[in-house]
Structures are given as C-alpha cells and as structure tokens.
Amino acid sequence: MDVYKGKSKVTIAKNVEVSLKTLKKWIKTINSKGMEELFKKKKRKTNQAIKGKIRLKKNRIIEILHQPPHLFGINRTSWDQSSISKIYEKTYNEKISTTSISTYLKEEGYVFKKARKVLTSTDPNYREKLAKITNILRNLKSNEKFFSIDEYGPFAIKIQGGRSYSLNDELKTFPQLQKSKGSLILTAALELSTNQTTFFYSNKKNTDEMIKLMHILLEEYKNEKNIYLSWDSASWHISKKLLNEIKLLNLKKAFPKVYLAPLPSCAQFLNVIESVFSGMARAIIHNSNYQSIDECKLAINRYFEDRNEYFRKNPKKAGKKIWGKEVVPSSFSKTNNCKDPRYR
C-alpha cells in the first residue's frame, strides 16, 4: 500500500480498477479490522433459506392443486398453470410465474401431457374454396361480419375422463359403464372480427337448427350490411331447404344480406369455432361429473359469457389473443388444426 501514499483516492481507484465506492469500503474495512480482514475468503451464504422458500412454494402449489378449482370460484374442472398462478397470488399475496409453477410441478413428479393429430382434406377444390374464404376475410368491411359455425355434441352428461396434473405413479380412472344423466348438443357461431360467440342448445343436428341460428344472427347483427356463414360440408349445412331460405331472405330489401363461404369437405380442422369448442371442453367438460343437464348448461353458459365479456373489454380479432385453453389460435389459417380429437 506504500506505493499509493500521497495519491488521491480517485487515482488509486483508477489504478486498481475498482469504483471509488468500493475503494472507500476497503479503506473502512482496513481501518476497522486490519488488512487481513480484506483478504479473508467470505463465506458463502447458506442456501438453506432459499431451499426452504422453494419448498414452501412447492407445498403451497400442491395444496392448491389438490383442491377443485370451483372452490376458488374458477369455472374449470382441472387446473392449468395460469389459474394456479392467479390463485397463488390471491391466496398468499405473492406473485409466481407460470414457468416457476411448471418447473416445481415437474420436480415434484407432476406431468401434463398433450398430443397432436394431423388431418388432411380430400376436397379436389380445396385451394379454390380456401382462396374464397381468405379473400373475404382479407377484404372484410366494418359493416360486414364473418361467422364460423358448427355443432358441439351430442355428448353425455356423465363422469368424463381427461388430462390433469397427476403424480407419475398415480393412475386416474373413471367407470366405462355409466348411466347417462342426459345429453346436449350445442349449436354455435363465432364472429371472427369481434371474437363473440352466439349459441343455443339443440335437440338435433338438422337444417331447421341452421335456419334458426341464421335468424338469430340476423336479429343480433341487424345493423350490418352483409353476413358470411362458414361451415363444413355436413348435409344439413348445404340442404336445398337452407339454400332456398337464404335466397328468400336476400330477395327482401332489408339488411343484412346472407352469403355462404363453405369450407372444403373433410376440412373440419379449418373450422375456427372448433378451437373454441376444444378450449371449452378442456376447461369444463374434461374431468367433469355434472349431476344434471342444467348444471352442465350453467357451466357452458358461464364459459361463453366470460369469453364474450373478455373480448368486449379487450377487442381483438380472432387469433390475436387467445382466451382460456384453446388448442390453437382461433384464427382462419390453412396451417391451423382447430379440431381437437380429444374434446369429446
């Protein structure tokens, strides 16, 4: 240290390549405890405290996981990482990321597996029909609406299987033979520019239900100039009765006018509403055990009310922002596989 006698602290700090703040700290240590103290190896802080905090977080997450989501006011039958994160923060007043939740669950032996399935259309006019739809969407005006339409079901009201967080050595089962409490068919239309869903419960899948849905949409969107209806090639979607009804409606001077934009045959994976159905199924149908049709309807109604309300408050075209657990972005794209083979 003698070499630095008579030199300013600024010069010394520059020569030894440390900040002035660090140098002052060293000088303070030397003056109070001696030169030897400066060169002592500082003991690393024990990581026991950190390990204990992580253990506490894991225990809290598993505790949440062991309780059904509806006890926390969540309209789901199994947990996802986003829901766990929200409830964790609400319960313990401490934020935790979904990445941390995923890591902790894996370390504790919990897994959540998923699979993908590739589908192919056999329609010889696939490209032409696809080009027509994409052209409509590309040029869709503010006074026009485009609807993706389909039916969900029929599905039985009984104990349903599904994927959920489980220990690796835990085997979840449900009875193969069950007495059904009833069944439901959901007929719905997703408007792509606003991400709003219109739906009702049907007794059958037929032309009359399609006509009923069309009239509901005409009333709900009566201030629009044109509405486009897009659905798959099921027989009741292209029946003469339906086409005649559309023709009669368009002969009237009243708006909106109705136009069809049918999907290619065997291309249900392009039907955007299938993504919404898949998200709904994974949230409130899989792992469910509803005791009645009315109880199941209540969950479905709430799901779509929440979804519609979200997109009213956060306006986004379908595909910009996904709500819940939709299997793919709910947007019309030839690379999408909106149909989830697991949703029934």
The arithmetic mean of pLDDT across residues 300-318, rounded, is: 89
Find out whether 227 and 147 touch, Cβ atoms under 8 Å. yes
Considering Cα of 264, then 328, then 319, then 284, what sign does the dihedral take?
positive
Contact 168, 111 (CB under 8 A): yes
Q: Name the pTM for this structure.
A: 0.68
Q: Residue 324: its pLDDT value, please?
A: 39
pLDDT, one tens digit per residue, over 205-236 is: 999 999 999 999 999 999 999 999 998 878 88
- The pair of structure tokens assigned to 155 is 């599905």
Q: Mean pLDDT across the chain, nearest whole number? A: 82
Contacts for 100 with CB less than 8 Å, ≥ 6 apart = 57
Share of the chain above pLDDT 90, in %: 38
State yes or no: cis peptide before 69, omega within 30 of 0: no
Which residues, at least 6 apart from 287, have a Cβ–Cβ distance to it below 8 Å?
A: 77, 78, 160, 161, 162, 164
Render pLDDT for 130-189 as a digit per residue (tens, 0 to 9): 888 888 888 889 999 999 999 998 999 999 888 888 888 888 888 888 899 999 999 999
- All structural domains of the chain, each given as residue ranges with its CATH number in brackets, are 2-39 (no CATH), 48-111 (no CATH), 126-313 (3.30.420.10)
Task: Answer with the residue of higher pLDDT: 168 or 200.
Answer: 200
